[in-house]
Structure 1
Amino acid sequence: MTAAHTDPSVSAPKLGLRERKKLQTRQAIRQAAYRLFAEQGYDATPVDRIAEVAEVSPSTVFRYFPTKEDIVLTDEYDPVIADTLRDRPAGEPPVTALRKTLTAVLAQMYEEDTAETLARVRLICESPTIRARMTEHSAVTTRLLVEVLSERTCRPVDDLELRVVAGAAMGALTEAFFHWVETGQHGRLSDLVEDALRVLERGLTL
């Protein structure tokens, strides 16, 4: 999510044995990476060490995550975002549907793995290399949002207004992450994200 690209697998019970093993390997690599990042810092943690702790080869790490930044940015939530957005009431304004979708999925991420979600947000905000890579990942999620909004509104997928709305929503999400980290991580992150997305609904008031 959130400014992150996605793996194709989402729901483990629906996967075959091979796909489940791939998902388990991805999770093992991420868990090892986050543990090492917490112990010795992101920049000081080489991929070889992540592979050693995850008990896989470095080539396996790169097969699942082309760069070290992708370990932080890749998740399984883009399909969840798409499905949640599709399930919003048909008459709901697009920006409202985006706000409720993104806050709901963020809450799900937080509930399923609080520590990893918070560590991920902090790393995104604190590492310039991760932020640079995040632009590409965010573009993928933005395109997905545009596709679903196109389905909901019957507008063409290349509609400029849809692109602006989806891009603005992703920008609001990212700025909420930055603000949360920069201000000492006070309050609930999901509340801050919802507040940021509400700005898009009502506009900037002076």
Structure 2
Amino acid sequence: MTTVDQPGTLRERKKLRTRAALADTAVILFSERGFDNTPLDALLEVVEVSRRTFFRNYRSKEDVALTAVTHLWNEFLVVFDESEQSGPLTELFRDTMLTTLDRMDDSWYQRFPRTLELVDQSPALNGHTLRHCAQMRSEITRRLTAPDSLELRLVLEFCVATWRCALEEWHAPHTPEDLREATRRAFAAMDTSLRLRV
């Protein structure tokens, strides 16, 4: 796994520490008390930051709770832009996701499983996540040279659904290699599953 270079100035480092403290504490606090039952002020009290400081770093309570999800997809787009973008789109999506997972650090792998549990428990977070996925599909479509079409939209829907299935197969202790292997298995099963008969 790669590590991100630390910002150079004291102000940048302080802001990064504040963002991390808010994200880490939010996941723990919301897991203990429930996302919908925990007001934003409770988080600010624990981290000891003002509302002004919070909103300089995050747009909403949903935003801070889903930091790990946003981090993943933002890095996914970076990797996607760096890729050759040739061949079957399902393989491009899979390989981009696997490279993205390689770039996630230990703190992300600690935060992400709890974030998934929060999403399952909160209709508000689940809806927020679905909207974010739709935005990511649009971003991926915009980056492709292929024209937007029904086929393209369908294959991206399949890819996102396959990724979500991989997450459902990722069980405790939630190791990085287990998630990568679940992703490989899910994408390997895609063609067979589309031909499944009943």
- The amino acid that maps onto 2:26 is A
1:1-206 mapped onto 2 (5 Å cutoff): 11-13=4-6, 19-74=12-67, 75-109=70-104, 111-148=106-143, 150=144, 154-156=145-147, 158-177=148-167, 179-180=168-169, 185=172, 188-201=178-191, 203-206=193-196
Offset, 1:33: 0.9
C-alpha RMSD of the superposition: 3.0
Choose between structure 1 and 2 for higher RCO, CA contacts under 8 A separated by at least 6 residues.
1
Change (3 A) 1:17 1:11: farther
Offset, 1:51: 0.8
Offset, 1:155: 1.8
Residues 89-128 of structure 1 deviation map (CA, whole Å, 9 limit, x = unaligned)? 4543211010111133234336453220111122122222
Residues 53-88 of structure 1 deviation map (CA, whole Å, 9 limit, x = unaligned)? 222113433443333222222333334212322344
Change (3 A) 1:90 1:38: closer
1: CA distance between counterparts of 2:111 and 2:96? 21
2: CA distance between counterparts of 1:56 and 1:135? 29
Count residues in correspondence.
189
Offset, 1:135: 1.7
The normalised TM-score by structure 1 is 0.73
Contact 1:109 1:117 in 2 (8 A): no
2: CA distance between counterparts of 1:100 and 1:68? 32
Change (3 A) 1:33 1:95: same
2: CA distance between counterparts of 1:130 and 1:50? 16
The runs of 5 or more residues in structure 1 that have no matched partner are: 1-9
The normalised TM-score by structure 2 is 0.76
1: CA distance between counterparts of 2:173 and 2:126? 22
Identity of aligned residues (%): 29
Residues 18-38 of structure 1 deviation map (CA, whole Å, 9 limit, x = unaligned)? 555443332121112122124
Contact 2:76 2:96 in 1 (8 A): yes
2: CA distance between counterparts of 1:169 and 1:15? 38
2: CA distance between counterparts of 1:186 and 1:55? 31
